[in-house]
Structure 1
Amino acid sequence: MLLNLNKSDTPMKFVYLLSEELKENPGQIVLAQALTLDKSKPYMGLKGAYGLFGSQEWWNSIEEGKMPLLFLSGVIQRTYIAGQDSSSEENSFSLLLGDGSIREESIYSHTRKEDRRLFVVGSRVEIVYALDELKPGAVDGEETHLDIVLEMAVSLQSVE
């Protein structure tokens, strides 16, 4: 695990692990890798600089610190429904970071009903992202990266 929940002042629970998601849906790996390897789509998909998505090489790049990671931690300020899904279930939240900025995030969880209820105003959220490079030119001609959620944890009680 990349997030160390033992350092938290409040009890936290892992609600999402990409490693578990990929075990449950290995088709995601196949599709992402195929797009990376598809030479007919030079502007779509990941570059593969740290290995093919979901491969052992890719996970090793994360564990060995080769792939850049982004760690975020903050407190939920609001939850809301985003996107065109007709669901009435909130799927996003505004996260107040330690520097005072707000970042809009999506709710990730494996056991929807049980863990999704933890995403309430006042809950602390910790997230770690892999910053995997996109193919050159994938976004407005600039080489950039994709933020891939690796782990997400939420406090079991409000911190406010």
Structure 2
Amino acid sequence: MLLKLENSKVPMKMVYLLSEKLKVNPEYASLTQALTLDSTKPYVGLNGTNGLFGTKEWWDSIEQGRIPLLFISGVIKRAYVAGQDPSNFNNTVDLLLEDGTIQSVGIYTNKKEDSKLFKIGYNASIVYALDELKPQAMLNFGQKYNQIALEMAVSLEPIE
């Protein structure tokens, strides 16, 4: 695991592993891979520089540091529903980071009921793989990388 939960000030629960999502829904990886390989769609998709999404080569690239990682951790200041789809549960949190800034992140869980664990005053941590987009997609989205959530954890008690 990439998140080091044993270093936390309070007990944490791992609520999301991309590897588990891909086991349950392998079609997710297949569709992403197909988009990467589709040269008729240069404005969307991953570049595949470090392996096709979800393959052993891709996971090895993460493990060996060829795909950069972004770690975000902070205290939940707000939990809410974002987006246009109606929802009965929160799907986004605003985290207060150590540097005093607020960062909005999506809630990722392998079990829907775990989304209820994301409460104000609790800590949440997430790690993203920064996978390179296709060159034309970079121009389209104005960024070089797509953030792919690999793991997410939330504290089991408030931190404040």
Give the TM-score of the pair, scaled to structure 2: 0.95
Q: Which runs of 5+ in 2 are unaligned?
A: none
Per the alignment, residue 60 of structure 2 pairs with: 60
| 1:135 and 2:128 aligned | no
What's the CA shift for 1:143? 5.8
Cα contact 1:137–1:143 (8 A) shared by 2: no
Provide the rounded CA distance (Å) in 1 between the counterparts of 2:66 and 2:106. 26
User: Structure 1 stretches (4+) deviating beyond 4 angstroms?
Assistant: none
| 1:97 and 2:100 aligned | no
Deviations 1:5-48 (A, max 9, x none): 11111100000000000001000111011110111111210000
Identity of aligned residues (%): 57
What's the CA shift for 1:88? 3.0
Give the superposed CA RMSD: 1.2
Per the alignment, residue 76 of structure 2 pairs with: 76
Greater share of helix: 2
Deviations 1:58-117 (A, max 9, x none): 00000111110011110100111111112232211111111111111111111211x122
Q: Which runs of 5+ in 1 are unaligned?
A: none
Cα contact 1:133–1:143 (8 A) shared by 2: no
Give the TM-score of the pair, scaled to structure 1: 0.95
Change (3 A) 1:143 1:97: closer
Cα contact 1:135–1:143 (8 A) shared by 2: no
Equivalent residues in 2 for 1:21-36 (5 A)? Answer: 21-36=21-36
Q: Secondary structure at the match of 1:127?
A: strand
What's the CA shift for 1:139? 3.7
Q: How many residues align?
A: 159
